[in-house]
Each structure stands twice: as structure tokens, then as C-alpha cells.
Homo-oligomer: A and B are copies of this chain.
Amino acid sequence: MTRANHRVTSLDVARAAGVSQSAVSRSFTAGASVAPETRTRVLAAASALGYRPNILARSLVSRTSGLVGIVMGHLTNPFYPAVLEAFGAALRRVDKRMLLIPVPDGDVDQVIGEVLQHQVDGIVVASATLSSALAEECARQGRPVVLFNRTTTAPTVATVSCDNDGAGRLVARTLVAAGHRRLLYVAGTPDSSTNVERERGFRAEAAALGAAVRVVAGLYRYDTAFAAVTAALTQPPDAVFAANDVMGCATIDAARRHGLAVPEDLSVIAMDDGPMAAWAGYDLTVIRQPVTDMVAAAVDLLLAAGRGEAPAHIRLPGTLTERGSARL
């Protein structure tokens, strides 16, 4: 038991163990030179007093906070909670924690400032972009930035994303091969690189194969996608590629409401593979993004940058997961 309301410091432990304060510090530092016997004594005293090293103080001198800033846009898109969990696990493995900043919208730049003040060891920006001016400032301060699920031309930031162009092509190829000719693309937010690439790949491949592609704006959200698809159904396509799974669900719901059966009358393939894609009510055929690998790659890039390596750009392939929403 320890006295109430008193922050136990390494000095307290030192006194209790009859050693110097630095001996205590060493006992808590992996691979420091302490006599095993000393260390045991120190650890005993420490746990008796309920001592835990103060990471803030340590960070101040070691110049690494053990914190990684995660700047994330729309947590309500079920893709991102999965990403968050993956980052939590991956970062814990390298003994770092997440400083999470859910950014309302747009004002990423301001938010990055806050994160920098916390002396984070790196920053992950997901579902948003930051100005190149700020990217440069991060670089100057030696704080690696990796853009997750977005690409950029800023030379100082690393990026990790799915091969969206390839995914779009794969879907087009798959649908056309199954005999579909009138294709509909339900787009995400038009300014996101993710959406742009998926659309580009999908259209290019479809065009090459002689299939027509119409595009409606779904903005990555259920309600907008539902409305857009409903409107598009006046001239029904035979297959839909939705830029994320939420909009895939919206497409299916809109089709059913319109009296169309999925997949008999309409094939639906969506990007992402969140929890609801597997629900019995949807059974959505999807392109699964390799979230775990993407996150692992992002963490690697962060660490690599910490070692002074140049920012890289990683693209991982998505994989087609066939379920019941597409007649292939």
C-alpha cells in the first residue's frame, strides 16, 4: 500500500530500495547495465509503492513520445473502425499508442498542429488529406506522415492504399465476363483519390470490353446512394459497382424496393468488406481491402521514416470475395 494522493516517483523508489535514482531508471530500461540483484530489489520496492515510470518525463528526454497521431474522417463508415482496431493492435506491438483525432471535416491542417504539439512519433491520416505546406512542416520536424487509403503527390508523405484502379478493373472484367453490359458505378465523394481511382479503373476496363458505364453520386453514404440508385433505376442497369459496402447495401435495398431481385435482375458488387456485407440480408459480393496488411504496411512506413528512409508508396491488391449479390 502506498500513501494516498502522492505521485510516486523514481526517487521514492530509490530511497525505498536504498539505491540511487539512476539505478531505478536503469532497472526499468531494457538492456541497461544493472546487477540482477539490484534490479529485483528495485522492482520489488517499485511494486510495493505502486510506482510506474512517468512516460511524459521519459519522452521529454528521449524525444519520442510513444504516441502516433491518427487523424480520421468518418468513423461512421464501418470501414474505419476496423482500421482503427488494426492500428491499435499493430502499434501496440511496437509499443506505441494512438492519439485519435476524429476530424469533423476539412480542417485537417489545424488538427495536425495539435497532434504535433503532443510530439507524436508519427501521424497517420486516414480518409482525408493534408496540405503540402503542413506535410512539409511535419517532414522538417522529423515527424513521418503516412496517408492511409488516400494518395497524394506531396513528396514528403508516404502512402498506403488498396490498388483501387486494379479493383475497378477487376470488377468490370468480372461483370462483363458474366454477361453484364449496362453497368452503373455508384461513386463515393468525387474528390477522394480512392473514388477517382476506382471509377477510372472501372470505366477504362468496361470501355475496353465494350460495356457502357453510367455514374451516379453516392458520396459513400447510405442515404445519398439509396436516392441516387433509386433514380437511376428508371433505366435499370444489369450490374452495379458501388464504391463502398454501405452503398452496396443501399443499392440492394433500392433495387428490392423497386421490385428487382438481387442477383437475378441486378448484380451488385461493392468495395470494402465491412461487417454488414456478410449479413444474410445482403450477402454482398465484395472486393475486400486487405486492412491488416495495409495497416502493417503503414506502421512499417512510419518506423522506416523514423530510421530516415524516404517515404514510399504502397499499394496492396484487393481480393474478390464472392457471395450472393452478383450473378457471375
How far does the alpha carbon of A101 sit from the alpha carbon of B101 in the complex, in Å?
Answer: 13
Q: Report the minimal beta-carbon distance from A187 to chain B, rounded to whole angstroms.
A: 19
Q: Given the complex of chains A and B, what is the CA–CA distance between A5 and B55 in angstroms?
A: 24
Give the number of copies in the complex.
Answer: 2
CA gap between A50 and B5 in the complex, in Å? 39
Quick check: B281 and A2 within 8 Å, CB to CB? no
- 1/0 contact trace for A59-80 toward B, CB 8 Å? 1100001110010000110101
Chain B residue nearest to A84 in the complex (CB): B75
Q: Is A88 located at the chain interface by the 8 A CB criterion?
A: yes
A267-283 Cβ-contact flags toward B at 8 Å (1 or 0): 00000000110111110
Interface residues of A in 133-181 (CB under 8 A from B): 137, 140-142
Which A residues between 76 and 125 are near B, CB-CB below 8 angstroms?
A: 76, 78, 80-82, 84-85, 88-89, 97-102, 104, 113-114, 116-119
Q: In the docked arrangement, what's the CA distance between A55 and B102, Å?
A: 20
Tell me which of A36-44, A202-210, A246-254, A309-317 binds B. A246-254
Which B residue's beta carbon lies closest to that of A65?
A: B56
Q: Does A32 contact B (CB under 8 A)?
A: no
Residues 178 to 200 of chain A near chain B (Cβ within 8 Å): none
Task: Report the interface size class on chain A.
Answer: 35 or more
- A241 is an interface residue with CB less than 8 A from chain B: no
Considering only CB atoms, which chain B residue lies closest to A283 in the complex? B253
- Whether B75 pairs with A81 at a CB distance below 8 angstroms is yes
Residues of B within 8 A of A104 (CB): 89
The docked-state distance in angstroms from the alpha carbon of A60 to that of B98 is 20
* Cα A50 to Cα B143 with chains together (Å): 14
| A7 interfacial by beta-carbon distance below 8 Å | yes
In the complex, which residues of chain B have a beta carbon less than 8 angstroms from the beta carbon of A254?
A: 280
Closest beta carbon of chain B to A118's beta carbon, Å: 5
A89 to B246, CA, bound (A): 24
Asked if A52 CB lies within 8 Å of chain B CBs, one says yes
CB of A256 closer than 8 Å to a CB of B:
yes
Instruction: List chain B residues, Cβ under 8 A from A88.
Output: 100-102
Judge whether A137 and B50 touch: CB under 8 Å.
yes
Partner of A98, one of B99, B275, B281: B99
CA distance A207 to B61 in the complex (A): 64
| Interface presence of A30 (CB below 8 A) | no
Taking CB atoms, residues of chain B closer than 8 Å to A20 are: none
Return the CB mask of A248-268 against B: 1 if under 8 Å, else 0.
011011101100000000000
B275 near A222: Cβ-Cβ < 8 Å: yes
A321: interface (CB < 8 Å):
no
Q: Are B249 and A279 in contact (CB under 8 A)?
A: yes
Pair B56/A119 contact, Cβ less than 8 Å:
yes
- Tell me if A220 counts as interface (CB < 8 A to partner B): no
Query: Can you list 7 contacts pairing A with B, beta carbon distance less than 8 Å?
Result: A5-B140, A52-B116, A226-B280, A246-B275, A249-B279, A249-B281, A250-B279
Interface of A toward B, CB cutoff 8 Å: 2, 4-5, 7, 50, 52-57, 59-60, 65-67, 70, 75-76, 78, 80-82, 84-85, 88-89, 97-102, 104, 113-114, 116-119, 137, 140-142, 222, 226, 246, 249-250, 252-254, 256-257, 275-276, 278-282
